[in-house]
Structure 1
Amino acid sequence: MKNIKALLDKEVCNRNSACELSYERPDPLLVASRYTDEYTVLLCALFAYGNAKLIVKLLDGFDFSLLNQSEEHIQKALQGVYYRFQNTQDIIEVFKTFRRLKQEESLNACFYEAYEKEHNVLEGIDAIIRKIHGLNSYASKGYGFLISSPFKRDKHHTIKAIGNPPYKRWNMFLRWMVRNDALDLGLWNNISTQDLILPLDTHTFKVSQKLGLLTRTTYDLQSALLITQKLKEFDKEDPTKYDFALYRIGQEKLIIS
């Protein structure tokens, strides 16, 4: 594992630069990093699925100032806009919902109230998801996929590690908001980096298996938790600092020895 740690530490060092974010090497953080508004950053994270170039193109085309305008204006301004699983009305309703949320309370306050009890970021994520669903009765497959569902829980009301997806886009949002370096934004300063969970996607999942960080073959929340725990052996205080490096290793199909 010493060799793996050395490899990842080198990748983290080399990639901790704004130069990593460019149109030649697209990543949704390229767009999100232009904003300090937490609602805008969350939208960038939630739409971050699929081809990276197409994600950046979509986000570049959004007028996030719509979050400060009327719902009637949102309805008109987003006509004809769609993306993969989201049709035009899905996107309109997402913007309307976020406008309502922005008028009601801060994301940080909603998250922190649930998180602080046990320093559990999953509880914080769940609180925001439930809040979002409570602000709009609109429902569709595309809308539900984008927002995500509240976590499944066991009979003791504990969030299940097995049976829930990794919630990659939500954990990526937290990485952006909590960590503070040349890449991540560091806009929330009341959350500990040691509590963050690796934003597990197909790239980081496969790379983690190849590197021996994970033996489990199921792509779910349990795998994300196990990899995060393994990465804490490399950096107890900031395990998700390795996320971007793992992602790029997979995305760029680098040879792993």
Structure 2
Amino acid sequence: MRRRSRHRSVRPTLSRDELGVLLERVYVDCHRRELIDPDPVLVVLRYGSVADREMAGLFCASLALGRARSIADACTRALLPFGENLSAAVRALGSTGTRGTLGLDRYRFFSGTDMASLLSGIGMIQERCGSLEAAFLATGGSHPGDCYPGGSHPGGTYSGAGPSASLLGHAEAFVRVLLAACREAAAALGSKVPLAANLISSPRDGSACKRLMLFFRWMVRCDEIDMGCWPGVYPSELVMPLDTHVHRIALELGLTRRPVADLQAALEVTEALRYFDPADPVRFDFSLARLGIRSDYSLNTYIAP
């Protein structure tokens, strides 16, 4: 006998106006600081400076695989020994010192060398470019990758992605820059083992790059949850960080029909949400994700019987 889903499809019963009302109700109820726990952004918010939030943000987002509580706990353990001034500590310690200080030997697919190389690589880019934002924006300037080699912008590859095309082009080049720095850090550790293949995903591969897009959301949007550390990027350019929870909910709401949570699905969801908020379509991400992460919230609550 076929097992019935506990989540009813609402696509046939919601008009666009009704969907807009539902999204706003979920946003008002769930986009609140007291509902952050156990989201890993809680770890990032413990830091005060832009440099520390960039480093902690990219590190925590990169480890965002599995249950939210496990991710947050792993990130806390890994970063706690570096103290309050994370970026300065990592840069002062160098690759070897960072590996020795790291408070975690492994998380899922990632070894201690992977994690230390990521932290050190981020520190190298901050040292050379001034910030991760500067490195990201440099990939589209008149002299691509000035502050770090290998960062040329891939041009019109994402021309069909609407307002998000520029961000995706920058993201592809930014990932190349970041991986180059991480490999440099790994080499300084004497590691002959390649970095984990999925440490950082690139949109070039057609992946939704949920973890990278989550980092961008944290850095670009500015409210009680997202930190607004990158004023040089517009919220309208962001792409929905599409994980399994949000993808399932998006399917039920008719925001996408694509059965696989890939880049195309993420863009479809983003464009659907752009109708309701052209300037900030990704503002619905945190609230929709609560419906999948927290047991005390459910999409069914917002569906009229």
TM-score when normalising by structure 2: 0.73
CA contact (8 A) 2:203 2:263 kept: no
CA contact (8 A) 1:78 1:88 kept: yes
1:53 pairs with 2:69: yes
CA contact (8 A) 2:99 2:112 kept: no
Name the amino acid aligned to 1:94.
Answer: L
Which deviates the most, 131-140 or 8-17? 131-140
SS at match of 2:134: helix
Runs of 4 or more, structure 1, over 6 Å off, are 116-119
Which deviates the most, 39-48 or 222-231? 39-48
- Aligned equivalent of 1:224, options 244, 266, 283: 266
Deviations 1:151-207 (A, max 9, x none): 43xxxxxxxxxx511000111111111111111111111211111110000001010
- Tell me the residue number matched to 1:8: 23
What runs of 5+ residues in structure 1 fail to find an aligned partner? 153-162
Name the amino acid aligned to 1:28.
Answer: P
* 1:127 CA drift (Å): 2.1
Paired positions, count: 243
Deviations 1:119-159 (A, max 9, x none): 611122122211122222547576331222x443xxxxxxx
Larger Rg: 2
- Tell me the residue number matched to 1:164: 206
CA contact (8 A) 1:121 1:195 kept: yes
- Aligned equivalent of 2:178, options 132, 157, 160: 132
SS at match of 1:147: coil
CA gap 1:171/1:80 in 2 versus in 1, 3 angstroms: closer
Name the amino acid aligned to 1:110.
Answer: A
Which deviates the most, 80-89 or 118-127? 118-127
Name the amino acid aligned to 1:54.
Answer: S
CA contact (8 A) 2:32 2:224 kept: yes
CA contact (8 A) 2:91 2:124 kept: no
Distance in 1 (alpha carbons) for counterparts of 2:111 and 2:215: 23
1:95 pairs with 2:110: no
- Tell me the residue number matched to 1:144: 197
CA contact (8 A) 1:177 1:185 kept: yes
- Tell me the residue number matched to 1:109: 134
Distance in 2 (alpha carbons) for counterparts of 1:18 and 1:115: 34
* 1:115 CA drift (Å): 5.1
Name the amino acid aligned to 1:18.
Answer: R
Distance in 1 (alpha carbons) for counterparts of 2:274 and 2:299: 24
Please, what is the CA RMSD of the aligned residues?
2.2
User: Once the two structures are aligned, what percentage of the paired residues are identical?
Assistant: 30
Which deviates the most, 131-140 or 29-38? 131-140
Distance in 1 (alpha carbons) for counterparts of 2:237 and 2:104: 40
1:62-101 matches, cutoff 5 A: 62-63=79-80, 64=82, 65=86, 66-71=89-94, 72-78=96-102, 81-101=105-125
